[in-house]
Chains A and B, each alone.
Chain A
Amino acid sequence: MARMAGRRLLTAVPLLAVVTFGVFAIAAASPFDPARAYAGSAGLGAGRDVLDQLRENLGADRPFVVRWWEWLTAALGGDLGQSTSLRQPVAQVIGERIGWSVLLCGVAFLLAVCTGTALGVLAARRRGGLLDRTVTSLAYTLEAAPPFWLGLLAMWFFAIRLDALPAGGLTDTGADAVTAGQVASHLVLPALVLAATQLPWFVLYVRQGVGDALDEDPVRGARARGLRERTVLLRHALRSGLLPVLTLIGSRVPELITGALLVETVFSWPGIASATVQAATSVDFPLLAALTVLATAAVLLGNLLSDLLYGLADPRVGFDG
């Protein structure tokens, strides 16, 4: 198992390098001009020779392969460059913000797993029944709804109509210190909305898994032994039905990142996903490149976790992959 993890981590390194290469290639093919991005609004009135000089100073006049190689070697040494929109080192931006993103995504994911399991089991208990149809329709509707729209509607209802929760940010405006209570109350809405966007997948898979397990021999055997319905459902059907779902959890990272990009922006949550959107709006290439690579690394790590869990849960699967 350790060997498999090691091998997969080793193959991740060239993959990440290829992704950074692709990012630089796309930027080289685009009309994006690093000198103008660096100069910002001051570059609007600048003459051609000033921009050319700046381009030379930045090294932007050289082929992109050379710039990519320099960026890569510097990145391995911990220097990810300078963010042009936030005027901070990229590594510092990530360091300051990643904790908030992990907090939001972690809470939302946990919430989605618990609620999704509960709803999925309830729905699977009597497939085709009223409860099942309600839960599955709700799941499909949630899956079709854009997360930013759900977020705005939740903000309108809870923050503006009921005035029960803060509408966004990390702390109240004017608060000078970040306290745990402030963060907790500001976390509720974004975490609920992010959990709601992740919920349909869990509900539908748990419903499928538990529903299938209810038709299998071990459950029929448990029923024949006269065990209580609750014991059959929770101790037998849920255990075998939940395993395939738990092992797939790692592969949900891309969807979680997609949801975080929209939810953090709606609620002005100071995480790295909202920084990504800001970087994209102001064409902040150094920040955008670093965050794209970071997200890819998270996806690869999630895939690895999912494969490891699969091997642990089902001994028939070897660790050769």
Chain B
Amino acid sequence: MGSNTVRLRASACVLATVLLAVLLVPLAVPLDEQAVDLAAKLHPPSWAHPFGTDEVGRDLLLRCVYGLRLSLLVGVVAALTATVLGTAAGVLAGVLGGWTDRALMRLVDLFSSVPHLLLGIFVVAMFRPGIWPVIASVVVTHWLSTARIVRAELLSLRTRPYVDAAVSGGASRLRVTVRHLLPGVLPQAALAAVLMIPHAIWHESALSFLGLGLPTHEASLGNMVNGARGSLLAGDWWPTLFPGLFIVVPTLAVAALAGAWRERLDPRRRSELTL
């Protein structure tokens, strides 16, 4: 068993644990029971509180699980929306070609020329506060790469003999698109969607950390890191460290699994774990 297999199995275990925790823990322990307990504030990690407690005495492990749940929810909704939008744009550009293609790709170039986080900050600043502006800000900045990938894949599929055969067999353009081209690009789009989820979580937590994301009373990972800045300056590291680890570890696990998936889709490409 090579070190690659070990890494893939470890990644799969991490993701399974994360998903189970995020789905099951809220059923067992509601967050409301986490009453403020000022007598227990800023306890370092112990057996009772494995991750310690925050500045008002709440258990950090539970808050991290809830934070990841919220971030994951935002990430999945945003990534799915961006993928649908990007795939639609890519397919339209690739199938219609000509004027539509040029206009759509110019639009993609235009959006790409504004730094992602800055565009996200601008959108959120104008429509704040709430969860939907955050999702919109992720969607606006993340559909671009999917549109490019889908279009490129579609253009290469269009030259394949089986598409020529369908066209000469009298199939309409719509039928060729739906029956022959779309199924060919979906695996790439799905891979892009999965890789987008960690990136969307990154984006959401950065906005929340800047105080521009989710409302501050929500337990999101970015909000937790932002809220812990005061205690960090007093020397208490655990309220900052653990929420960040909840972003880094699942991201690495997704990247490792997606790398293996990419290699199966296209064995010619070297399996590099790109985030």
Contacts and interface: CB of A to CB of B under 8 A. Distances in A.
Interface of A: 15, 18-19, 22-23, 26-27, 30-32, 133, 140-141, 143-149, 152-153, 155-156, 160-161, 167, 204, 208, 253-255, 257-258, 261-262, 265, 276-277, 279-281, 283, 285, 288, 291-292, 295-296, 299-300, 303
B118 A292 contact: yes
Contact of A296 (B113, B225, B233, B243): B113
B275 A257 contact: no
A288 B127 CA distance: 14
Given A141-B248, A295-B118, A160 B113 contact: no
A280 B229 contact: no
Contacts of B198: 144
Contact of A292 (B122, B247, B275): B122
Contacts of A265: 210
B127 A31 contact: yes
A146 B209 contact: yes
Identify the 8 closest CB pairs spanning chains A and B, nearest first. Answer: A149-B244, A280-B125, A30-B126, A144-B251, A254-B115, A258-B117, A257-B115, A148-B209
A258 B116 CA distance: 7
B71 to A, nearest CB: 11
A299 B121 contact: no
A258 B244 contact: no
A149 B245 CA distance: 9
Contact of A160 (B3, B210, B233, B255): B233
Contacts of A204: 272
| Residue in A146, A253, A279, A281 whose Cβ sees the most chain B Cβ within 10 Å | A146
Given A140-B275, A261-B210, A262-B209, 6 more contacts: A15-B113, A152-B225, A261-B117, A277-B212, A283-B125, A292-B119
Interface stretch (B17-25, B181-189, B234-242): B234-242
A155 B237 CA distance: 10
22 contacts: A18-B110, A30-B126, A140-B273, A140-B275, A145-B247, A149-B247, A152-B232, A153-B240, A153-B241, A155-B232, A156-B235, A161-B235, A167-B233, A257-B115, A261-B210, A262-B117, A285-B126, A295-B115, A295-B118, A296-B114, A296-B115, A303-B113
A153 B232 CA distance: 9
Given A149-B240, A258-B115, A280-B125, A144 B232 contact: no
B134 interface: no
A18 B117 CA distance: 19
**Chain B binding surface SS class:** helix
Given A30-B127, A152-B229, A153-B241, A257 B118 contact: yes
Contact of A276 (B118, B232, B240, B252): B118
B265 to A, nearest CB: 20
Interface in B228-271: 229, 232-233, 235, 237, 240-241, 243-244, 247-248, 251-252, 255
A300 B113 contact: yes
A19 B235 contact: no
A265 B225 CA distance: 13
A32 B205 CA distance: 23
Given A156-B237, A295-B115, A146 B202 contact: yes
Interface in B112-145: 113-119, 121-128
Contact of A148 (B118, B122, B206): B206
